[in-house]
């Protein structure tokens, strides 16, 4: 135990290690970019990378020396580009929402579904599908088209708000009570879903089943709309909570000793997690596994520092969802497989394999 007054190690290895902290973000960014390029090129209409570049350049008025047809331009700009943007935003949103919840609950198994975001959305979506038809008929055109998204977003958000209110007493939120009331909320929503399934007809049931498996299909620029804006907002704000979440992992009292406004942090975490998960579900239906696995993969690879974990989860979540969507839309082409099937079918065995090798021994913890 050195007792030399404030002496620091002479050659501070700080700079090298700081570069190491940021390196994963660069690697993940490049991975995401690569996946985006592949997704732009591959599909029912194959487009060469040079043509993709030329199409994108021409969209902003720059001529590149690769020839492309009307068809390629349409496929890239009107079909693949919005779909890829949706994939990046939803994948990033699901992943960051999982990372936030795992940090808040100090449990690597948590996800927004734990506090009712998915089950609330499912109940509201099914309610609309089964008994909401007459109501939708009354809505003006654009609103009717977005009715399922709005219902899902509203249902998920409402469920989390109810759970949050139950767990908050005298201005302080108990995370344990949130978990317990989340379980009750999920049970209640599941009962509601069961009830509606019981009275639904085959077509409604089929619609709901496909919705609950998720899909990025059929998206257009105009349908991205408000949901995409909400996701962008959530993705931009969530990484700012990294420092506070690191402190919260020590415990609430310890975080307060470190000067962290604990209650405000908890409220922000729940708000942003619900916002991102809610908007993601509203846009694509329920896509499982990404929210759980993306942050977990990051922790296995580079540890739990939330200042890196949150942005890294966004990048990896986007990459994973785009890759899954690539499989979903090519494996049974021209038909499209629900993406939830792909995320689980590929994601789960991969995750198990990763757990079994686990070089740093982190999964054992």
Question: What are the residues binding another protein (CB under 8 A)?
Answer: 1-3, 5-9, 12-15, 17-18, 21-22, 106, 108, 243, 246-247, 249-251, 253-254, 256-261, 299, 303-305, 307-308, 360-362, 365
Q: What's the maximum distance between 2 C-alpha atoms anywhere in the chain?
A: 78
CA distance 125 to 128: 5
> What are 53-61's contacts with CB under 8 Å, separation 24+?
none
CA distance 192 to 185: 11
Nearer Cβ to another protein (20/229): 20
Closest to 297 (Cα-Cα) out of 223, 353, 249: 353
- The CB-of-181 to another protein minimum distance in angstroms stands at 22
Nearer Cβ to another protein (169/220): 169
Exposed, middle or buried, 92 (CB in 10 Å: 0-12/13-18/19+)? Answer: buried
- The CB-of-350 to another protein minimum distance in angstroms stands at 20
- The CB-of-295 to another protein minimum distance in angstroms stands at 11
Nearer Cβ to another protein (16/138): 16
- The CB-of-17 to another protein minimum distance in angstroms stands at 6
Nearer Cβ to another protein (21/33): 21
Neighbours of 326 (CB within 10 A): 19
- The CB-of-239 to another protein minimum distance in angstroms stands at 10
- The CB-of-100 to another protein minimum distance in angstroms stands at 14
Nearer Cβ to another protein (190/258): 258
- Calculate helix-pair angle for 81-104, 262-284, nearest 10 degrees: 150
Write the DSSP assignment of 116-133 as a string of letters.
THHHHHHHHHHHHHHH-H
Closest to 299 (Cα-Cα) out of 289, 312, 288: 312
Nearer Cβ to another protein (216/310): 310
Place of tokens 């939120």: 173
Residue 46, Ramachandran bin (φ over 0: left; ψ between -120 and 50: alpha; else beta):
beta
CA distance 1 to 272: 44
163, 116 Cβ separation under 8 angstroms: yes
Nearer Cβ to another protein (188/267): 267
Nearer Cβ to another protein (134/361): 361
363, 237 Cβ separation under 8 angstroms: no
- The CB-of-50 to another protein minimum distance in angstroms stands at 38
- The CB-of-107 to another protein minimum distance in angstroms stands at 8
């Amino acid at each position: 135990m050195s007792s030399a007054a404030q002496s620091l190690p002479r050659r501070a290895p700080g700079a090298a290690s700081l570069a190491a902290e940021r390196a994963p973000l660069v690697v993940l960014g490049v991975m995401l970019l690569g996946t985006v390029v592949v997704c732009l090129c591959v599909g029912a209409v194959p487009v060469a990378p040079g043509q993709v570049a030329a199409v994108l350049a021409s969209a902003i008025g720059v001529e590149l020396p690769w020839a492309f047809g009307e068809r390629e331009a349409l496929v890239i700009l009107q079909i693949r580009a919005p779909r890829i943007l949706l994939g990046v935003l939803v994948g990033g949103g699901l992943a960051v929402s999982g990372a936030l919840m795992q940090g808040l609950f100090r449990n690597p198994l948590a996800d927004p579904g734990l506090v009712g975001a998915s089950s609330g959305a499912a109940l509201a979506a099914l309610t609309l599908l089964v008994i909401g038809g007459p109501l939708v008929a009354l809505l003006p055109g654009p609103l009717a088209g977005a009715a399922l998204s709005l219902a899902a977003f509203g249902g998920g958000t409402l469920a989390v708000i109810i759970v949050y209110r139950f767990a908050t007493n005298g201005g302080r939120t108990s995370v344990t009570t949130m978990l317990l009331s989340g379980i009750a909320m999920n049970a209640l929503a599941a009962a509601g879903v069961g009830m509606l399934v019981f009275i639904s007809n085959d077509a409604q049931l089929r619609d709901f089943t496909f919705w609950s498996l998720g899909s990025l299909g059929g998206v257009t620029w105009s349908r991205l709309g408000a949901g995409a804006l909400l996701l962008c907002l959530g993705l931009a704000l969530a990484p700012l909570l990294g420092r506070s979440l690191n402190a919260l992992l020590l415990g609430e009292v310890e975080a307060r000793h470190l000067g962290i406004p604990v209650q405000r942090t908890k409220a922000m975490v729940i708000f942003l997690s619900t916002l991102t998960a809610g908007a993601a579900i509203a846009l694509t239906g329920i896509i499982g596994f990404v929210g759980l696995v993306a942050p977990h993969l990051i922790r296995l690879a580079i540890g739990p520092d939330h200042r890196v974990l949150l942005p890294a989860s966004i990048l990896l979540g986007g990459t994973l969802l785009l890759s899954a969507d690539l499989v979903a839309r090519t494996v049974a082409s021209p038909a499209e497989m629900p993406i939830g099937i792909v995320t689980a079918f590929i994601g789960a065995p991969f995750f198990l394999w990763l757990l079994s090798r686990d070089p740093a021994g982190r999964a054992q913890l």
